[in-house]
Copies of this chain bind each other. A is one copy, B any other.
């Protein structure tokens, strides 16, 4: 893969990576600070979200460094002359974070112990298979049949994951409260939509003829997909955990005084003030 990048192309990828670092870091701090707002029994889902963005933060710092080391600015263009950019960080990241992401969704639902365990095991195996089968294709020649074959192989566990999330998990939706059900239903589609960005980024080298443009599209695509699938998805899991905590009457220590004073707000305070 030999190509040079214009200043704009290089910077687009560079700034996308930096944007992901800032997003993962902010999400990490946010999830840690929001912890006390969630009832202890719903904190496991938040813990998993926290791990996911923490692991991704680490990997994007490495990816960012690998990208800057791989190119140098010569005669107004960025030329590959250092160590090659290490694509492996992404796959190690996904190997760890994808099972955790799926676990977030399962754990926040509070299904029966047996169902939870069985789903977690099957989803984790499928996630690892999906990523492991994608890797040989990712590093093979853009126009090779091998790339396509591995992509197809990787799609089989992907479809199994979708089956579990939509059909099996769908059955449990009826037992959730209406507000939780609405968020959950939306979440599955967001998961589908954001996970759809990964195969698009994966296919970029096969679809785009210009090697430089294909590389930029792939890196920016993966960056966008990771921000949607990790911090954004974690926010939705947090929303469910908060909603369940509230429904169950959980009040953060020290917040009862505030709760009392809220009752004391007269009705005629108007609709702008939370009564």
- Residues on A lying within 8 angstroms of B by beta carbon are 7, 11, 14-15, 18-19, 21-23, 25-26, 29-30, 33-37, 39-43, 47, 50-51, 54-55, 58-59, 62, 73, 82-84, 86, 88-89, 92-93, 95-96, 110-113, 115, 171-172, 175, 245, 247-255, 257-261, 269-274
Distance in Å from the Cβ of A212 to the closest Cβ of chain B? 18
Cβ of A141 to closest chain B Cβ, rounded Å:
15
Residues from chain B with a CB closer than 8 A to the CB of A249 are 257, 260-261
Cross-interface CB contact of A37 among B40, B111, B247, B270, cutoff 8 Å: B40
Look across to chain B and name the residue whose beta carbon is closest to the beta carbon of A16: B92
Query: Which residues of chain B are within 8 angstroms of A247 by Cβ–Cβ distance?
Result: 261
B contact residues around A253 at 8 Å (CB): 40, 253-254
Q: Which of A40, A43, A55, A269 has the most CB of B within 10 A?
A: A40
CB pair B39 A51 closer than 8 Å: no
- A237 CB to closest chain B CB (Å) equals 15
Residues in B neighbouring A110, C-beta threshold 8 A: 273-274
Residue from B19, B88, B175, B245 within 8 A of A272 (CB atoms): B175
List B contacts of A95 (CB < 8 A). Answer: 19
Inter-subunit contact B55/A26 (CB<8 Å): yes
Say whether, besides A7-B84, A274-B113, A257 and B251 are in contact (CB < 8 Å).
Answer: yes
Task: Give the complex CA separation of A165 and B259 in angstroms.
Answer: 28
- For the complex, give the distance between the alpha carbons of A96 and B39 in Å: 29
Whether the pair B62, A73 counts as a contact (CB closer than 8 A) is: no
Q: Assess whether B54 is in contact with A26, with CB atoms less than 8 Å apart.
A: yes
Smallest CB-CB A-B distances: 7 pairs:
A15-B88, A248-B261, A40-B255, A41-B258, A40-B252, A172-B272, A73-B83
Asked whether A111 and B36 contact (CB < 8 A) given A51-B30, A54-B26, the answer is no
Sample 22 A-B pairs with CB under 8 A, ordered by A number: A14-B88, A15-B88, A18-B89, A18-B92, A21-B58, A22-B58, A22-B93, A26-B54, A30-B47, A30-B51, A33-B50, A40-B253, A40-B254, A111-B273, A112-B271, A113-B274, A115-B272, A172-B273, A247-B261, A248-B258, A249-B257, A250-B254
